[in-house]
Amino acid sequence: MPEIALTAWQILLVKVLVILTIVPVGALAGGYAEHKVMAHLQHRLGPMYPGGFHGWATTLADGLKFLYKEDIVPDAADRKVFSLAPAAIFVPVLMIYLVIPIDRNLIVEDLDVGIFYLLAVGSISTIGVLMAGWSSANKYALIGALRSAAQLIAYELPIVLSAAVVAMYAGSLSVIDIVEKQNFPFAIWPPGIGLIAFLVFTTGAVAEMTRVPFDMPVAESEIITGPFTEYTGMRYIFSHMFAEMGHMVAFAGIGVTLFLGGYKPIIPWSPLEVVPGVIWFGLKFALMIFLFLWIRPTFPRVREDQLQKFAWKFLIPVSLVLVLAMGAWVLYV
Amino acid sequence: MVHPAHPPDLSTTQERCYKVPDGYFGQYVTIGIFAVVGVALVFGTLSLAKLVRPNVPAKDKYTTYESGIDPIGRGWSQTNVRYYLFALLFVVFDVEAVFLFPWAVVFERLGTQAFIEMVIFIAILAFALLYAVKKKVLEWL
């Protein structure tokens, strides 16, 4: 096989193309999985007709439909901010994908501040949501945006602290180092600490994605679609659909990398090393996505005060204790 | 200004012009490019949609949505930002997290002393949280 030599710019171009393919395809596949998994958990079939085989083309049709929707910006809205908001919400989600390793060498950039970057970039979207809510000049949108900010304030900390616990264990912030350190997935070893950190992270992630049971910001039965009430067509797709699905895919990737051992086999046993890392990553990733989809039809929506109470009086104290427990484990066990 | 002891070897002009920046900040060039590409993707798709979507303006379409009735007052109305105190606490703990990450990388090498210092730091903040609970500022009215 002839060796193909690519210049650095060509490699960069390939990276850009791959990520730009993964994000919309991931969002579409996530949408389809959501339809089907939810339907089967509720004892119904879900979409069956579009595309023939089990309605595989449903989300594709849904996406195309939005392309043909009239673009409406309300007269009362702040036009500039209103049209910038979808980009402000979507681009940070895209940026998370750059530091998720699918295999030892399959990562866009292995930053030495990897998880710090993940957490920092991941929370920028909220500014976009606030922009959308405020510029719409709509009461539902304003309430939704404020709820969204409140939710970030409450659930950012459990995520950050549980990620810090992983960083303490690995002694590094680089995602590759973190995966390499996990001979057993972090959720299994160190016993107890890892599992609790994983559960704290997952709860926080569901809240950050504003999915059920933490979907107060977009609660359709009370405030329509919250910050995105006035959005139509592709603007709506980018600010809500792609952002939510993209967040779900990103958080599943982060969860796999930090807590489930990323591209490594579930146990350090040499016959399992034969299976490529991409497949291990894919299996774990599918498990994470299924977990997120499973939560949705299972739990009812929590109230705003319950949501805050749960974060401040339970999750944050638990994660602080975890940080101390991990420190003691690393130094003395 | 500090000059590096061994300046990078850029032998030809061509290399100097077309080389992708590498090293520590080179990685951030990739990230910058992705940010630009992301913005281009959003506005590119919106422009693409412009070619196919209908445009039938009518005055009523551009009113603010309020469940079918005419909007009352303005959308930018007064709202009670109830989580003001939560936000203050958040800032405190988020700053803690900023200190926690560099510490997490090196504390194993520094040993017990560094660990005890972090225990004291976390204890002070946990005490603040306890105080907030006692003062009932974490009750959502």
For B67-114, the DSSP string reads: TTSPPPS-SS-----TTHHHHHHHHHHHHHHHHHHHHHHHHHHH-HHH
Tell me the mean pLDDT in the region A268-293. Answer: 88
pLDDT at res. B1? 45
pLDDT at res. B56? 85
**Distances from the Cα of A135 to the Cα of A242, A269, B74, angstroms:** 20, 55, 12
CB A160 within 8 A of CB B97: yes
Residue B3 lies in a domain: no
pLDDT surpasses 50 at B105: yes
pLDDT surpasses 50 at B14: no
Residue B5 lies in a domain: no
Residue B32 lies in a domain: yes
pLDDT surpasses 70 at A148: yes
- B39 residue type, one letter: V
The distance of Cα B35 from the centroid of its chain, to the nearest Å, equals 13
Cα end-to-end distance, chain A, whole Å: 49
pLDDT level of residue A60 (50, 70, 90 thresholds): confident
Residue B1 lies in a domain: no
pLDDT surpasses 90 at A199: yes
pLDDT surpasses 70 at B70: yes
Tell me the mean pLDDT in the region A254-274. Answer: 86
| Whole-structure pTM value | 0.88
Name the residue in chain A with its Cα closest to that of B100. A164
Burial A226-239 (b: 16+ CB within 10 A, else e): bbbbbbbbbbbbbb
Burial A307-317 (b: 16+ CB within 10 A, else e): bbbbbbeebbe
pLDDT at res. B17? 47
* Pick among B27, B79, B124 to test the A interface (most A CBs inside 10 A): B27
Total number of domains in chain B: 1
Other beta carbons within 10 angstroms of residue A165's beta carbon come to 30
- Of residues A11 and A39, more confidence is placed in A39
pLDDT at res. A123? 84
Cβ <8 Å between A8 and B20: yes
Q: What is the pLDDT of residues A105-123, one digit of tens each?
A: 888 888 888 888 988 888 8
Residue B84 lies in a domain: yes
Instruction: List CB contacts (< 8 A) between B35 and chain A.
Output: 91, 95
Nearest to B66 among A108, A139, A153 (CB): A139
Share the mean pLDDT of chain A.
87
pLDDT at res. A30? 85
pLDDT surpasses 90 at A197: yes
Residue B13 lies in a domain: no
pLDDT surpasses 70 at B21: no
d(C-alpha A332, C-alpha B2), whole Å: 42
Tell me the mean pLDDT in the region A305-332. Answer: 89
Q: Is A19 helix (H, G, I), strand (E, B) or coil?
A: helix
- Of residues A260 and A153, more confidence is placed in A260
Domain that holds residue B99: 26-134
Q: What is the pLDDT of residues A74-105, one digit of tens each?
A: 888 888 999 899 999 989 988 888 888 888 88
Note the ipTM here: 0.81
Residue B65 lies in a domain: yes
Other beta carbons within 10 angstroms of residue B5's beta carbon come to 5
Q: Is A109 helix (H, G, I), strand (E, B) or coil?
A: coil
Residue B9 lies in a domain: no
DSSP string, A112-144: TTHHHHHHHHHTTHHHHHHHHHHHTT-HHHHHH
pLDDT level of residue B9 (50, 70, 90 thresholds): low
Q: What is the dihedral of CA A269, A169, A106, A199, to 10 degrees?
A: 90
Here the CATH number for the domain that contains residue B102 is 1.20.58.1610
* Entry field: residues in chain A: 333
* Pick among B33, B79, B101, B103 to test the A interface (most A CBs inside 10 A): B101
pLDDT level of residue A256 (50, 70, 90 thresholds): very high
d(C-alpha A304, C-alpha A262), whole Å: 34
